[in-house]
Amino acid sequence: MSGSMRMASSVAWPCLAVVVAVAALMIGLVAPAEARKEGKQSIGYYELRRGEFSIVVTNWGATILSVNLPDKNGKIDDVVLGYKKIGSYVNDTTYFGALVGRVANRIAGGRFTVKGQPYHTYKNDGNNTLHGGHRGFNQVFWSVRERVTGQFPYITFYYRSYDGEQGFPGALDVLVTYKIDGDDSYSVTMYARPVDKPTPVNLAQHTYWNLRGHGNGTILDHAVQIFASAVTPVDADLIPTGAVTPVAGTPFDFRTPAAPGAHIADVPGGYDINYVLDGEADGQGVRKVAVVSEATSGRVLELWSDQPGVQFYTGNFLKGDEGKGGAHYVKHGGLCLETQDFPDALHNPKFPAEIYRKGQVYKHYMLYKFSLAN
C-alpha cells in the first residue's frame, strides 16, 4: 500500500516576475457567496486573446471558462462546456474546465501510506477519493502570481495547499500557467513543490470539449485518435486493477481516428479510462497525445503533453445540465482528455511513482493546437 518515491527530479521551480496588479475583466458573472464571505479573496475573469482565438480563465479553481475560435466558415464558437454563473462551479461535480488535484482521479479507499505513515483522504466518490476530495484544487481561490499581456499573453495562478488539506500530507505550493503560445494554440504548465513532507501529486486539467460548439449535440460523431496501445482497466468502482492491457481488437482502440459512438455500446457506462501513452513513459518527453476533429465545423484539436497517461472520458454523467447561454449538456455532450500519471498509482507499484518530497518539483505540460481541416 506504500507508493514509491519519485527519482530526484531535474525540474526547476520557475522564477516569476513581481506580481502585476490586475484589473479583473468582468464578464457579467456573479461571485459565489463563499467568495464574498472570504472578504479579501475575490473572483477575477481573465481573457487571453490572440486574433480571433481567445480563452477565458478564472482564479476560482484555476478554471477554464471558455475557449473561442472560428469554424471553417469563420463563425466563432465556444468549444468548452461550462456554467453561466460562477456560483454553479461551487460544489460542482462535473469538473467543467477545472484544474484538479492534489491527486487527480481516484485513490482507492481514500487511504495510502507514505514512509510508513498512514493517511486518510476525503471520500467523495463512494469509498474513494476523487480529484483531490470534496474541496480539491478546483474548489479553492488561487491568487494571480503573474499576468502578461501582448502577443503571447499568459497568466499564472498560485495556490498554497495546507498540511492536512482533504487529508493530504504536508503543505504544497502549486503554480498553473495558461498561455497563448501561438496562433490558435495555448499551453497549460503546472508546477508543484512540497513545502515540508513527502506527498503524492498528480494534477490534471478537466476541460470538456465539443468542437461543434458547447451545447451543440454529442461528441459521439467526433473523430478521436489517441496515441496509446494500452489502457489500465478498472473495476466496477473505476479503480485500476493494476493490469496494463493492449487496446488492439477492443472498443478502446483509437490508434487510428474513430468515432467514440462506433463502439460505445460495448463499453459499459461509456469511455472513462486511462490510456498508457506510446513512446517514452517516464514523463520527461513531450509527445503527441491525441487528435480530435469534427467534420461539420472543420475544427481540429491536437493535444501534446509530457505525461505518461491520459484519461479519456466521454461525459457519461452529463444529463442535460444547464450551461452557458442556456445550453443544455446532454449525455456525451463533451469529451475530456486529462493527461496525468496513472490513476491510483499509490496502490500500484508498477505504475510510475507520484510521491514527491521536499526539494523535488512536479511538472506537467500540455499544449493544445487548433486548426481547420481542409
Ligand X SMILES: *[C@@H]1O[C@H](CO)[C@@H](O)[C@H](O)[C@H]1NC(C)=O
Q: Does 90 bind ligand X (CB under 6 A)?
A: yes
Is 71 near ligand X (CB under 6 A)? yes
Q: Does 213 bind ligand X (CB under 6 A)?
A: yes
Considering CB under 6 A, how many residues would be counted as binding ligand X?
12
Cα 21 from Cα 248, distance rounded (Å): 52
Only one residue has cell 491525441, namely 290
Here the cell at position 356 is 514527491
The site map against ligand X for 172-201 (x = CB under 6 A) is ------------------------------
Determine the longest span between alpha carbons in the chain, in angstroms: 59
Q: Does 212 bind ligand X (CB under 6 A)?
A: yes
Q: Does 371 bind ligand X (CB under 6 A)?
A: no
Write b or e for each residue in 292-317: b if 16 or more Cβ atoms lie within 10 A of its Cβ, otherwise e. Answer: bbbeebbbbbbbbbbbbbbbbbbbee
**Smallest gap from residue 77 Cβ to ligand X (A):** 6
Catalytic choice (294, 338, 354, 364): 338
Per CB under 6 A, the segment of 96-104, 175-183, 209-217, 226-234 that binds ligand X is: 209-217
44 phi/psi in degrees, rounded to 5? -120, 150
**Upper half-sphere CA count for residue 283 (Cβ side, 13 Å):** 22
**Is 222 labeled as catalytic in the residue annotation?**
no
Q: What is the spatial distance between Cα 328 and Cα 214, in angstroms, rounded to a whole number?
A: 9
Q: Compute the Cα dihedral for 177, 180, 12, 101 and give only its sign.
A: positive
87 binds ligand X (CB under 6 A): yes
Which range in 5-13, 60-68, 85-93, 302-310 contacts ligand X by CB under 6 A? Answer: 85-93
Torsional sign, CA 66, 69, 71, 75: positive
Residue 297 is classified by DSSP as T
Instruction: Identify the residue among 113, 117, 127, 143 touching ligand X (CB under 6 A).
Output: 127
In angstroms, rounded to a whole number, what is the distance separating the alpha carbons of residues 95 and 81? 10
Q: Which is nearer to ligand X, 138 or 189 (CB)?
A: 138
Please identify, using beta-carbon distances, which residue of 49 and 135 lies nearer to ligand X: 135
Look up residue 298 and give its three cell numbers: 472543420
Instruction: Report if residue 167 touches ligand X, rule: CB under 6 A.
Output: no
What are φ and ψ of residue 337, in 5° steps? Answer: -130, 90
Task: Check if 294 is active-site.
Answer: no
Shortest distance in whole angstroms from residue 216 CB to ligand X: 4
**In this structure, what is the dihedral angle of CA atoms 227, 275, 288, 302, given to the nearest 10 degrees?**
90
Q: Which is nearer to ligand X, 71 or 321 (CB)?
A: 71
DSSP secondary structure string for all residues of 108-124: GGGEEEETTEEEE----
Report the Cα–Cα distance between both ends of the chain, in Å, rounded: 51
Bond preceding residue 102 cis, omega within 30 of 0: yes
Out of 51, 118, 126, 257, the only residue in the binding site for ligand X (CB under 6 A) is: 126
| Min dist. Cβ of residue 86 to ligand X (A) | 10
Phi, psi angles (nearest 5°) of residue 216: -100, 75
d(CA 157, CA 214): 25
Q: Which is nearer to ligand X, 90 or 330 (CB)?
A: 90
297 binds ligand X (CB under 6 A): yes
- Residue 125, C-alpha cell as written in the block: 466518490
Indicate whether 133 belongs to the interface with ligand X (CB under 6 A). Answer: no
Q: What are the grid coordinates assigned to 323, written together?
A: 450551461
Of residues 29-58, those binding ligand X (CB under 6 A):
32
Is 262 or 295 the residue whose CB approaches ligand X more closely? 295
Q: How far is CA 109 from the centre of its chain?
A: 22
Q: Does 91 bind ligand X (CB under 6 A)?
A: yes
Taking the least distance from each CB to ligand X, the nearer of 65 and 355 is 65
CB of 215 to ligand X, least distance (A): 7
Output the smallest distance, CB 159 to ligand X, in A: 19
Q: Among 93, 241, 284, 296, which residue interacts with ligand X (rule: CB under 6 A)?
A: 296
Say which of 131, 206, 214, 364 is annotated catalytic: 206
- Contact call for residue 323 and ligand X (CB under 6 A): no
- Judged by CB under 6 A, does residue 257 bind ligand X? no
**Catalytic annotation, residues:** 206, 338
> Which residues contribute to the site for ligand X (CB under 6 A)?
32, 71, 87, 90-91, 126-127, 212-213, 216, 296-297
